[in-house]
Amino acid sequence: MRPTILKRLFRRVASTAALALLAATLTATAAAQPAAAAAGLQQVTGFGTNPGNLQMYAYTPAQLPDNAPLVVALHGCTQTADAYYTNSGWPKFADAWGFAVVFPQTTSANNALSCFNWFDPADDTRGKGEAASIVQMVDYAKRTYGTDARRVYVTGLSAGGGMTADLLAAYPDVFAGGSVASGLPAQCATSQVAASTCQYGPQSQTPAQWGDKVRAAYPGYSGPWPRVAIWQGTSDYTVYPANATALRDQWTNVWGIGQTPSSTDTLPGNTIRTVYNDASGKPAVQMYSVSGMGHGLAVAPGSGDQQCGSTAAYFLSSICSSYYTGVFWGLDGGTAPGDGGDPGDGGDPGDGGDPGTPGPAACYSATNYAHVTAGRAHMSGGYVYANGSNQNMGLYNVFVSHTLKETPAGYFVIADSGCAA
C-alpha cells in the first residue's frame, strides 16, 4: 500500500538530507531539465495503474522489427527522461540495431531530488510502487510494440542504477540483463537514513550475504538469472567504487561462479573490463572500471560505430558504455544469451531450448567478442579460438571480426573469404 500523504511529505523533506551526497554536484552545477520534449521521444499515458506515480516516455525507431528487444533506461537524481534520451547514446543503437527504449521518469512529487527511491521497500520491491510501475511499462511495450518478452533489459545511472539492481533482484523473470552505472547493489539500503551510508561504502558483507539479498527479493525463484554489467569510475566520490565490488560479489554469487575473473582486457577510455563466465563459458557478469572517471555515465561523443552520447552534467566523456553494454546483451545483430534464438548456442538452461544441442549449420559474421558471447568460439590467454576447429581468430575484443561457418553443426571454421554452403 502507498504511504500516507503525511509520510510522503516527510519523505520529501528527509530525503534531501539522506541523498545530499548523491546529488550535491548535480544541484550545484545543473538546473532542472525540462520535461521530455525532444523529437522522437514520446510520452505514453495510460500504461497501467501506475502505483509508483511515474511518467513513461518511449523511443521507437521507424520500422521497428517484430519481436524486437526492449531497453529500459533510468535517469539519475535531478535528471529527466529527456536528459537520458539526449545524452546516453541509447537512441543511436536503437536505430542501428532495432530495439525500443523506455525512459521512465520520476519527479519531485515522489522524491525531493527527483531520484528513483531505490532505498525504499515501498518502491523498490516486487509488486510495489515505482518498481511495479516500471514493470507495467514493460508490459505496455510488449502489448504495443511487440517486444520480445525474453529480451528485456534495464539500465540506470546513480539512483537509477540502484533501482536497476533492485529490479533485477525483484523481477529476474522480467529482465534478461541489466547494467548498473555508478550505482548500488540490490537492497543495499532499506531506509533513507541508510542510503547515504551505502553511497560512501556498502556494509561489509560476504558474497553469499549479498547474493542472499537478491534471492530474498523473489523467494523460490531459481533462474535463469539476469546477466549484469557494472560500470564504475575509479574517481567517483559520490557513489564510491566499493559499490562496484559489492555488485560484482552479489551477482557472481547469484550465478554461483565465484569472484575469480575468467578474463580481463583493456578498452578505450582507460577502461578495464573484467569478465566472469557462467558454467557454460558465457559472460554472466562484466565489470568495467573507468580510470579517473568521476560520478556519471561514460559516453564517447562522435560518429564512430563505437561512439555515442553527448557530454553534460554526469554524462562524462570516456567510453561509450551503451555500446559495450548493448554488445554484452547481444543487441548488436546477434541474440542475447538465454533468449533461445541463436542457432549456434543451443539454448541456455531455463530458456526452453535443448541445452548443449547445437543448431543447424549456418554462417555468422561478428566481432570476436560477439562470437565468444554467442558460444561459437572461446577465449584463452587473450586470444579467441573457433569452437570445434580451434582455429586462432586473433585477440579477444570488439575490433577484430570474422565470419564463421558452422559445418557440421557445432563445429566452426573461419570463412572470411566466403561462406558458400
Q: Identify the helix (H) or strand (E) that includes residue 200.
A: helix 192-200
Backbone angles phi, psi at 102, to 5 degrees: -105, 130
Contacts of 409 (CB under 8 A, 6+ apart): 358, 359, 360, 361
Q: Specify the amino acid at residue 100.
A: A
**Residue 230 in grid coordinates:** 557494472
Please state, in angstroms and rounded to a whole number, the distance separating the CA atoms of residues 130 and 116.
8
Q: Which of 114, 158, 182, 321 is catalytic?
A: 158
| Pairing assessment for the beta strands 383-386 and 377-380 based on DSSP bridges | antiparallel
Instruction: Write the CA distances from 309 to 12, 17, 170, 301, 336, integer angstroms.
Output: 32, 31, 30, 5, 23
Instruction: Report H helices in 49-146.
Output: 81-87, 90-97, 121-124, 129-145
Active site residue 318: no
Do 97 and 331 contact (CB within 8 A), yes or no? yes
* Nearest Cα to Cα of residue 191 among 393, 19, 5: 19
Backbone angles phi, psi at 299, to 5 degrees: -130, 165
Backbone angles phi, psi at 223, to 5 degrees: 115, 175
Please state, in angstroms and rounded to a whole number, the distance separating the CA atoms of residues 133 and 108.
16
Please state, in angstroms and rounded to a whole number, the distance separating the CA atoms of residues 298 and 271.
10
**Residue 256 in grid coordinates:** 554461483
Q: Specify the amino acid at residue 334.
A: G
Task: For helices 20-29 and 5-18, give the axis angle rounded to 10 degrees.
Answer: 80
**Residue 314 in grid coordinates:** 554526469
Burial status of residue 279 (CB atoms within 10 A of its CB: 0-12, 13-18, 19 or more)? exposed
Q: Which residues are catalytic?
A: 158
